[in-house]
Amino acid sequence: MPRQDTTVIHAGEGASDRARPLTAPIYQTSTFVFDSTADLEEYVAGGSGRYLYSRYANPSVESAEAKLAALEGAEAAMVTASGMAATATALFGLLAAGDELVASAAIYGGSIHLMTGFLRKFGVTVRLVPMGGDLLAHIGPATKVVWFESPTNPTLRCLDIRHLAAGCRERGITSVCDNTFASPINQQPLALGVDLVMHSATKYLNGHSDVVAGALAGPAALIDRLQPARRFLGGVLDPSAAYALARGMKTIAVRVARQNESAQRLAEWLAADPRVRTVAYPGLPSHPDHAIARRQMSGFGGMVTCAVHGGLAAARDVFDRVRLIQRAVSLGGVETICSLPVLTSHYGVSAADLAAAGVTDDMIRISVGLEDPADLMADLDQALGRGPAGAAS
């Protein structure tokens, strides 16, 4: 009977000396082998650059991190198991009991849950500032972190990033920008003065709706400071997912350029349609933050939100009639998808809070993919139907 000795079954042993793959290999391993005690001693002393354990570091994960750092113009980056893992790593890494966090209320719902449901339990004061309020005006002596997103979901309002970053820097407060909606192709918050960028890499960075991942990017000293939080909270990215993320990032520039172009065309087409009540897209001159968007973005993104005449009933009809466009949450992939904010991201939010956020029940949010824009318009045209009674005649 053959011996089941795993130590001798290394079919590709030595291949790393002879084979130079064009693509970064997937290091699908939890642990790494040491040759000797001396080898291990060198590692623990910090000088060898070797790997120990994949919760600490893994070459496939580092390959994705190097790509993201390059895209954001950052010294360093860290990828995580989800966007929420990145947010948790950043917030638990930066804040302690007694500290205060000032955050825009117009941020991802999960981020708000983490802040109000968890950080508060550990003695952090959380101040949420409604859309339109100046975050800087809410900073107090104990404020350590200011957290915001731009463009926001689903109204795509833009905050003046340079203004916020400068105000935080002046006061020695760490500013963090969730750059998920813009992607680094359209907006580079670090260049605008922000300290730390956060991503749901699930969205545009991966771009294919097949991976859940997150990321942080910023100065090496800040990313290093957050390493223990990722390591001990445990939100590391699996090597296979890191590979898929890195592969997605190879095409982000062409994907996002096309999505910008298609979204602009779709937004202009919708804005000219009498069946549509309003269109929110930062690339439209009618958008309330068009001027800010032009200053800080190099492209206006692939997200378009429109509202139809006839309230939720009319929005539901359009939502139920789309054929090419799929009904799904999330964003940033190659397939165009749409969602109803009041039934997804803003489900259960009070009427007063919806009004403060500018969210209405007749809104449909569209994440524009890579299909021919003519096909998307044809689909929306049939889905809009004859419009509500009255608008039709």
Q: Which residues are catalytic?
A: 55, 108, 178, 203
65 lies in the binding site for ligand PLP (CB under 6 A): no
We find the least distance from the C-beta atom of residue 219 to ligand PLP, in angstroms, to be 22
Question: Contact, 260 vs 290, CB < 8 A?
Answer: no
180 lies in the binding site for ligand PLP (CB under 6 A): yes
Determine the Cα–Cα distance for residues 190 and 146; give it in Å rounded to an integer: 14
**What order of strands is seen across the sheet that includes strand 337-339?**
276-280, 303-308, 363-367, 337-339, 326-327
150 lies in the binding site for ligand PLP (CB under 6 A): no
92 lies in the binding site for ligand PLP (CB under 6 A): no
110 lies in the binding site for ligand PLP (CB under 6 A): yes
84 lies in the binding site for ligand PLP (CB under 6 A): yes
Query: Which range, of 25-33, 108-116, 220-228, 242-250, touches ligand PLP by CB under 6 A?
Result: 108-116
The HSE-up count of residue 263 (CA atoms within 13 Å, CB side) is 34
Binding residues for ligand PLP, how many (CB under 6 A)?
15
212 lies in the binding site for ligand PLP (CB under 6 A): yes
Cα 190 from chain centre: 15
Determine the Cα–Cα distance for residues 79 and 243; give it in Å rounded to an integer: 11
Q: Tokens in use for 211?
A: 């991976």
Cα–Cα nearest to 215, from 189, 193, 251: 189
Query: Which range, of 199-207, 301-309, 359-367, 368-376, touches ligand PLP by CB under 6 A?
Result: 199-207
184 lies in the binding site for ligand PLP (CB under 6 A): no
We find the least distance from the C-beta atom of residue 391 to ligand PLP, in angstroms, to be 32
Q: Tokens in use for 334?
A: 């190659």
379 lies in the binding site for ligand PLP (CB under 6 A): no
Among positions 62, 65, 149, 238, the unique one binding ligand PLP when judged by CB under 6 A: 149
Query: Which range, of 104-112, 139-147, 260-268, 300-308, touches ligand PLP by CB under 6 A?
Result: 104-112
Angle between helices 252-271 and 373-384 (to 10 degrees): 40
203 lies in the binding site for ligand PLP (CB under 6 A): yes
Q: Tokens in use for 344?
A: 């997804």
| Strand 143-149 with 276-280, pairing | unpaired
Determine the Cα–Cα distance for residues 315 and 99; give it in Å rounded to an integer: 43
Chain position whose Cβ is nearest to ligand PLP: 83
DSSP tag of 31: B
262 lies in the binding site for ligand PLP (CB under 6 A): no
238 lies in the binding site for ligand PLP (CB under 6 A): no
Torsion, Cα 213 208 191 365, to 10 degrees, reads -100
179 lies in the binding site for ligand PLP (CB under 6 A): no
Q: Tokens in use for 209?
A: 């709706």
Phi-psi region of 205 (alpha: psi -120 to 50; beta: other; left: phi over 0): alpha
Q: Looking at beta carbons only, is 329 or 391 nearer to ligand PLP?
A: 329
Query: Which range, of 31-39, 60-68, 80-88, 222-230, touches ligand PLP by CB under 6 A?
Result: 80-88
Residue type at position 87 = T
Q: Looking at beta carbons only, is 178 or 362 nearer to ligand PLP?
A: 178
339 lies in the binding site for ligand PLP (CB under 6 A): no
Nearest-5° Cα angle at 138, 137 to 144: 115
Q: Tokens in use for 94?
A: 């930066």
Q: Looking at beta carbons only, is 82 or 262 nearer to ligand PLP?
A: 82
Among positions 26, 63, 76, 83, the unique one binding ligand PLP when judged by CB under 6 A: 83
Residues that bind ligand PLP (CB under 6 A): 82-84, 108, 110-111, 149, 178, 180-181, 200, 202-203, 212, 214
